[in-house]
Amino acid sequence: MTRPIVWTVAGSDSGGGAGIQADLHAMHNLGVHGCSVVSALTAQNSVAVTAAEATSAAMFEAQLQALAADMPARVIKTGMLASEEQIKILLNYINDVWLVVDPVAVSTSGYRLADNAVLQAIHKHLLPRAQLVTPNINELQLLTGVSVDNEEQAITAARQLLQTGVQAVVVKGGHLNTDLPQVTDLLVSADRVVRFQQPRIANAHGHGTGCTLASVLASALALNYPLEDALVMANAYVAAGLHDAEAVGQGTGPVRHHL
């Protein structure tokens, strides 16, 4: 069997916890080959993001061209994207592949990783081409303008995203009902809403959970698992990572599954 190839198009985290570095860990552990198109460099550690710089359009496209010529993707996963220009370039490479969009906006430490123009470009250009988008509650609000305080509102906002053409929305529920002992993710598509309820794991060391979840989803889809199964795998993987996670540095340690 040929190992499926998955591209992550995302930002580098110098601290090794989130972004490209988290994506490649997860892809490796799932048994796909992960390729990386670096959209931005970030300078960060476990405490803060201190700087970010976009990859030039020429270098962004050169990475895509090199991969397209020799290592075509079965699934492309996007994370942090730095500009509308990058998004327009990327569109030329989304043919005959599945697209999983993680609409990264703000780091847990509060650093704005994508401005409103980038989020609008994701909404306008990427979602119509995507199989799946994986917003957390904050990202769902930023993408739709709908204020979300409960599950019903989350479903309404997710249905609004479906109107872009994206085939399914996974709303990550970790930031909703934080006083409850469980977390409920919602899988919303044209014909159904599926609730995935799981125990809340009280571990502060969860840097990179969003990136990891989307990367496991993308890898499982590349391995031909159906979407529901892929989401169960991704949540089990992140849960194992949260059980294993510990401080590395003074701040928030990375979610990491040590196989």
Binding site for ligand PLP (CB under 6 A): 10-11, 13, 18-19, 42, 79-80, 104, 107-108, 113, 207-211
Nearer to ligand PLP, 4 or 79 (CB): 79
Nearer to ligand PLP, 159 or 200 (CB): 200
User: What region does 94 belong to: left with phi over 0, alpha with psi -120 to 50, or beta?
Assistant: beta
- Bridge-based pairing of strands 182-189 and 192-199 is antiparallel
> What minimum distance in Å lies between the beta carbon of 149 and ligand PLP?
21
> What minimum distance in Å lies between the beta carbon of 96 and ligand PLP?
26
> What minimum distance in Å lies between the beta carbon of 116 and ligand PLP?
17
Q: Which residue is nearest to ligand PLP (CB)?
A: 19
The answer to whether the CB of 133 falls within 8 A of the CB of 188 is: no
The rounded distance, in Å, linking the Cα atoms of 54 and 188 is 32
> What minimum distance in Å lies between the beta carbon of 207 and ligand PLP?
4
Please report how many Cα atoms fall inside a 13 Å half-sphere around the Cα of residue 154, on the Cβ side: 26
Spatial neighbors of 55 by CB under 8 A, at least 6 apart, are 38, 39, 40, 41, 63, 82, 86
> What minimum distance in Å lies between the beta carbon of 53 and ligand PLP?
12
Nearer to ligand PLP, 10 or 90 (CB): 10
The amino acid sitting at 38 is V
Nearer to ligand PLP, 4 or 174 (CB): 174
Dihedral sign of CA atoms 22, 172, 5, 11 in order: negative
Nearer to ligand PLP, 211 or 222 (CB): 211
List Cα–Cα distances, 47 to 33, 108, 167, 184, in angstroms.
30, 10, 36, 28
List Cα–Cα distances, 161 to 41, 68, 150, in angstroms.
29, 29, 17
The rounded distance, in Å, linking the Cα atoms of 52 and 155 is 33
Nearer to ligand PLP, 22 or 32 (CB): 22
> What minimum distance in Å lies between the beta carbon of 107 and ligand PLP?
4
